[in-house]
């Protein structure tokens, strides 16, 4: 038999190659289920940590995708009520203006001064 020139053959034990394949399958499964992403930010004036990001939704009937920009703030009053939510999610101002331009405006909600500065 002649040796292969310019090629390397890597042989992994079955257990390791199985783990790699299993990990790739898990990653592919999570990628299929992913609908958005968020990034941690700090408010300029308040120093409050919050998340900003987007969620992409697909209309099952038409297949059209819609990207919705969101901001997420921790609930300041969580310590007063253990049943209160840990976070509050709001449409970012970009999404609100897009929604109002398309005629599907969401009802306006009163926001605290910190939230207005951060968005």
List pLDDT tens digits, range 18-56: 566 667 777 888 888 999 999 999 999 999 999 999 999
- pLDDT exceeds cutoff 90 at 1: no
Domain parsing of the chain, residue ranges: 37-118
Whether the CB-CB separation of 50 and 73 falls below 8 Å is answered with yes
pTM for the model: 0.58
Query: What pLDDT band is residue 13 in, cutting at 50, 70 and 90?
Result: low
Cβ 72 vs Cβ 89: under 8 Å: yes
pLDDT one-digit tens code per residue, 28-37: 888 889 999 9
């Amino acid at each position: 038999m002649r040796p292969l020139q310019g090629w390397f053959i890597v042989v992994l034990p079955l257990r390791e190659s199985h783990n790699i394949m299993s990990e790739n399958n898990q990653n592919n499964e999570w990628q299929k289920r992913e609908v958005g992403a968020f990034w941690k930010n700090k408010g300029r004036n308040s120093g409050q940590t919050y998340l900003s990001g987007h969620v992409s939704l697909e209309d099952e009937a038409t297949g059209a995708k819609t990207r919705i920009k969101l901001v997420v703030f921790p609930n300041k009053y969580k310590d007063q009520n253990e049943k209160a939510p840990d976070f509050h999610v709001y449409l970012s101002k970009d999404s609100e203006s897009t929604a109002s331009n398309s005629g599907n405006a969401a009802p306006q909600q009163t926001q605290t001064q910190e939230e207005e500065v951060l968005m």
